Amino acid sequence: MKIALATDHGGFPLKETIKKLLLELHVDTTDYGSEGAESVDYPDYAIAVAEQVSEGKVDAGVLVCGTGIGMAIVANKFKGIRAAVVNDPYTARMAKEHNNANIVCLGGRVNDPEKARELVKIWLTTRYEGGRHDRRLQKISEIDKKNLK
């Protein structure tokens, strides 16, 4: 499995924690930055990861900012992206089980490292349930087709 990972300054330490976790899990991970506390613009990093996922160059993405929200807003403007902010084990599981989220977004200012590890692990290991959810995801794809190039 290939994952693209990025953060802004609001999530840098957590991005490093997640990178270490993905390494431990033998997930092929590409880090698109940023690399420290210097203030940067989260859309630039969300774009880098969302493009990789949208173009099928990687299987999924992980984005971190202060809250995860800005990253999700940007990523969801790309075709085929289903980016979800997860804040607890239940939303991490549902993001995959029901929404088949291909990008998970976390807040570096709202999650401690242990919790972030747990949430990413849940999202990675949960299976998409399919069935009735296929119909719903199909409706989302139709919006993509209509509104995005």
Catalytic residue ranges: 65, 98
| Angle of CA points 72, 60, 1, to nearest 5° | 160
Strands 83-85 and 103-107: parallel
Residue among 27 and 32 whose Cβ is closer to ligand RB5: 32
Regarding 69 and contact with ligand RB5 (CB under 6 A), the answer is: yes
Closest approach, Cβ 138 to ligand RB5, in A, equals: 29
Regarding 99 and contact with ligand RB5 (CB under 6 A), the answer is: no
What residues contact residue 136 under an 8 Å CB cut-off, 6+ apart? none
Which among 55, 30, 53 is positioned nearest to 18, based on CA atoms? 30
Residue among 10 and 61 whose Cβ is closer to ligand RB5: 10
Task: Give CA–CA dist 86/121, Å, rounded.
Answer: 12
Sole window of 29-37, 60-68, 86-94, 118-126 interacting with ligand RB5 (rule: CB under 6 A): 60-68
Closest approach, Cβ 55 to ligand RB5, in A, equals: 24
Closest approach, Cβ 91 to ligand RB5, in A, equals: 17
Task: Give CA–CA dist 22/94, Å, rounded.
Answer: 20
Type of residue numbered 54: S
Q: What is the binding site for ligand RB5 (CB under 6 A)?
A: 8, 10, 42, 65-67, 69-70
